[in-house]
Amino acid sequence: MTELSTLTRKLTLDLTAIPSVNGSSGETAIIEFLYHRLKRLPAVQKGKVKLFLIPSMDDPLFRPTLIAHYSGTGKQGLLLFGHTDTVGTNDYGPFESLAHRPLELTELAKSGALGEAAAKRASSGRFLFGRGILDMKSGVAAACTVFEKMVEASIDMHLFFAATPDEEVGSRGAKTLSRWLEDYTTNHNIHLQWVLNTDYTEQPKVGDPYPIYAGSIGKLLPAVYVRGLPSHAAEPEHGIDPNYLLSRITQKLVYCSDLVDATENERCPLPVSLYQRDDKPFYDVQTAISASAYYNLFHMTRSPSEQLKRISELIEEEMNNTILHLHSLQASQVLPEKIPVYTYENIWNHASEEVRSDTLRYSESLTLSVELRERCRLMVDFLIQRGNFKGPLIVVYFANGLIPRVNTPSLMQNRFWPIVEQFSRETKIPYFCRTYFPYISDLSFLSQSPDWEDETFAKNFPAQSYASPGTTLQTATFMIGTSGVGAHRPDESVDAVYTFETLPKLLAHIVQSLETH
């Protein structure tokens, strides 16, 4: 192993040993660990590298983002960055105590405790197991060690390294980083051209090329609020059960191919449900008044307004079919001819100024501990009740802030890909280009996107006052990730050979080559 790969492996083990589950104090601890590591660099003592710990915006946990800036002599700048938070460890069951101990967990995996496929990987000697080791502490380690080596080499370009919290939930760290870079690069006359993220990529089959992505997929969280007509459980014909209406909607939207966005060569994953429940906090024999759900929906070429229109049309179609079905069953004596389907913008526009003001005051009265998706649901429910809207009805809205699609302009790609091709020829390791990283990533917040110009999204996001505005950065964004199997699963494991030996060399090659172009 080279010195760079040895350093990357050691730092990966150190970072994985620090539990940094999203929402825990470990998110701050791991950032502080990296801060104190970088603080020991001779370049920091000489003033060539400046370190910043920036509190995340609108974060009740005050989790910091770490930014290191190496001052080059020119104007061109490049950012290496990654997130340090992970999902939880409950899925490890009786082996949870080993989730942050990669060497011991890898030995356990050899016994078959994590499954037959995991045992095979562990026994090969090529993989290391642990929570976050793939997603994406090994990627942060590679980016950090390459930053340190490039600083030692005294390159001419401005070089940034950043470690961010909260990618797994709200991307507060990346949003903070983006806003900070806007101000800092402007004030210091730096042209930040390149952004390289080192999040995980799926292990290719033997002989297949490794993927590099020139952007990142967009994500929406469309939500549906259903208001029914409550009744006694013994007299269902006198009401309309919102849970039934919502179940029909979920059946229509989940795995719906009509909602799948695609390009000529790439295709988004199918939509799925991430939440569904009614509003009853207790048991009684009255049917629920309302029920809500939200759904994961990716996009590449379609705008948020296009996707919202498609969803609304599908729901309208399904509600028409539902009424016919209920009539055939003689299930309800209070069925209307049509169940109206509104967007949040529709009901907002129909409400009086007084009701709108009351809704905004209600939102402000909710504490920061009320998570964003629940805040949106509560605002819809309040607006419906305060505006005296009668059920049955459907409201479609967005329950989460925008995660925009980003992709690198072809001109910048044409400068980038020959550098990768040269590395591929020299190492005999094949690579292929894709436009959109398919798992969503913090890259979405590091460059401009047409999604930010879509006014329909803002008008249908109840908590828009809490939303972050789009960035003004104009950068070329690339995902050059770790490789492995099982992110967010107990058998999460990183390909140690590629990630510790090849990835740091590739990143260093790219930085050095872009510096001379």
Radius of gyration of the chain (CA): 25
CA–CA distance, 164 with 444 (Å, rounded to integer) = 14
Q: Please report the pLDDT score of residue 517 as a whole number.
A: 66
CA–CA distance, 490 with 114 (Å, rounded to integer) = 7
**Are 303 and 452 a contacting pair, CB within 8 Å?**
no
CA–CA distance, 495 with 483 (Å, rounded to integer) = 6
Peptide bond into 136 cis (omega under 30): yes
- The Cβ-side half-sphere exposure at 409, using a 13 Å CA radius, reads 10
Helix (H, G, I), strand (E, B) or coil at 388: coil
CA–CA distance, 308 with 397 (Å, rounded to integer) = 8
Residue 281: exposed, middle, or buried by beta-carbon count in 10 A (0-12, 13-18, 19+)? exposed
3-217+403-453+470-516, CATH topology level: Aminopeptidase (3.40.630)
Please state the pTM of the whole predicted model.
Answer: 0.92
Q: Where are the domains of the chain?
A: 3-217+403-453+470-516, 222-398
Closest CA to 408 of 441, 449, 442, 440: 449
C-beta contacts of 321-327 below 8 A and 24+ residues apart: 321/248, 322/245, 322/248
CA–CA distance, 489 with 109 (Å, rounded to integer) = 13
Token pair of 256 as six digits: 């719906």
User: Do β-strands 272-278 and 290-299 pair in parallel, antiparallel, or remain unpaired?
Assistant: antiparallel
CA–CA distance, 496 with 138 (Å, rounded to integer) = 9
Distance from CA of residue 298 to its chain's centroid? 11
Q: Which residues of 307-340 are buried (b: 16+ CB within 10 A; e: fewer)?
A: bbebbbebbbebbeebbeebeeeeebeebeeebb
Q: Please report the pLDDT score of residue 163 as a whole number.
A: 98
**Bridge partner residues of 224 (DSSP):** 293, 396
- Phi/psi for 259 (5° steps) reads -95, 0
Residue segments in the chain with a per-residue pLDDT below the cut of 70? 517
Token pair of 90 as six digits: 């409950």
**Are 48 and 174 a contacting pair, CB within 8 Å?**
no
CA–CA distance, 207 with 63 (Å, rounded to integer) = 41
Region of 478 (left: φ > 0; alpha: ψ -120 to 50; beta: rest) is: beta
The string of pLDDT tens digits covering residues 257-312 is: 999 999 988 999 999 999 999 999 999 999 999 999 999 999 999 999 999 999 99
CA–CA distance, 501 with 348 (Å, rounded to integer) = 56
**Bridge partner residues of 485 (DSSP):** 493
Output the DSSP codes for 302-347: S-HHHHHHHHHHHHHHHHHHHHHHHHHHT--S---S---EEEHHHH
Distance from CA of residue 273 to its chain's centroid? 16
H or E element that contains 292:
strand 290-299
Closest CA to 431 of 242, 249, 209, 235: 209
Q: In CATH, what is the architecture of 222-398?
A: 2-Layer Sandwich (3.30)
Q: Please report the pLDDT score of residue 502 as a whole number.
A: 98
Token pair of 76 as six digits: 């061109």
Q: Please report the pLDDT score of residue 391 as a whole number.
A: 84
CA–CA distance, 108 with 110 (Å, rounded to integer) = 5
